[in-house]
A and B are shown apart, each in its own frame.
Chain A
Amino acid sequence: MTHLLEVENLEVKFALRFGDLTALDDISFHLDKKEKLGIVGESGAGKSVTGFAIINLLSKPGYIAGGRILFEGREINRLSDEELRQIRGNLISMIFQDPMMTLNPVLTIGTQMVETVMAHCRVGKAEARGLALEKLRKVYIPSPEKRLEQYPHEMSGGMRQRIVIAIALLTNPGLIIADEPTTALDVTIQAGIMDLLTELCETEEMGLILITHDLAVVSRVTERIAVMYAGRIIETGLTHEIVGHPRHPYTIGLINSLPGTRRAGSRLEQIPGMMPNLTAIPAGCAFHPRCFFAAEECRRTRPELSAVNGGRHWAACLRLDQTAGPNHLHD
Chain B
Amino acid sequence: MFAFIIRRIVQALMVMVVIALIGFSVQHSIGDPVRDMVGERVSQAEREVIRERLGLNDPALLQFSRFCWKALHGDLGVSYFHKRPAMEVILSKAPATLELVLGSTAIILLFCFPVGIYTAIRPRAWFSRFVMAVSTVGVAVPVFLTAIALIYLFGVELRWLPTYGRGQTVNIGGWDTGLLTADGLLHLILPSIALSSIMLPLYIRLIRSEMMEVLETEYIKFAWAKGLSRWRVWLLHAFKNTLLPVITVFGVEIGILFAFTLLTETVFQWQGMGFMFLEAVERSDTSLLVAYLVVVGVMFVVINTIVDICYGFINPMVRIAGNP
On whether A103 and B219 interact (CB within 8 A), knowing A119-B232, A153-B316, A154-B320, the answer reads: yes
Q: Is A101 an interface residue (CB 8 A)?
A: yes
Distance A11 CA – B228 CA, assembled complex (angstroms): 27
Q: Which of A87, A106, A151, A153 has the most CB of B within 10 A?
A: A106
Return chain A residues, CB-CB under 8 Å to B222: 94, 96, 102-104, 164
Min CB–CB distance A270 → chain B (angstroms): 30
Return chain B residues, CB-CB under 8 Å to A59: 221
Once the chains bind, are A86 and B316 in contact (CB under 8 Å)?
A: no
Q: Is B237 an interface residue (CB 8 A)?
A: yes
Which residues in chain A, 40-92, are within 8 Å of chain B measured between CB atoms?
55, 57, 59, 85-90
Once the chains bind, are B228 and A119 in contact (CB under 8 Å)?
A: yes
Return chain B residues, CB-CB under 8 Å to A103: 219, 222
Size bracket, chain A contacts: 20 to 34
Return chain B residues, CB-CB under 8 Å to A154: 320
- Kindly identify which residue among B225, B232, B315, B316 contacts A115, using a CB–CB cutoff of 8 Å: B232
Taken residue by residue from 209 to 233, chain B's Cβ proximity to chain A (1 for < 8 Å, 0 otherwise) reads as 0000000011101111111110010
Q: Is B159 an interface residue (CB 8 A)?
A: no
Return chain A residues, CB-CB under 8 Å to B315: 106
Min CB–CB distance A282 → chain B (angstroms): 32
Q: Is B317 an interface residue (CB 8 A)?
A: yes
Q: Is B60 an interface residue (CB 8 A)?
A: no
On whether A101 and B218 interact (CB within 8 A), knowing A85-B227, A119-B229, the answer reads: yes
Which residues in chain B, 231-289, are within 8 Å of chain A measured between CB atoms?
232, 236-237, 240-241, 244
Distance A87 CA – B314 CA, assembled complex (angstroms): 32
Once the chains bind, are A107 and B240 in contact (CB under 8 Å)?
A: yes
Return chain A residues, CB-CB under 8 Å to B244: 106
Return chain B residues, CB-CB under 8 Å to A164: 222
**17 further interface pairs, Cβ-Cβ under 8 Å (given A119-B227, A119-B229):** A88-B224, A93-B226, A94-B222, A94-B225, A98-B218, A102-B219, A104-B223, A104-B241, A105-B316, A106-B240, A106-B244, A115-B226, A116-B226, A116-B227, A116-B228, A119-B228, A151-B316
Which B residues contact A (CB, under 8 angstroms)? 217-219, 221-229, 232, 236-237, 240-241, 244, 314-317, 320
In the complex, the 5 A-B pairs of residues with the closest C-beta atoms, listed nearest first: A89-B227, A89-B226, A101-B218, A88-B227, A151-B316
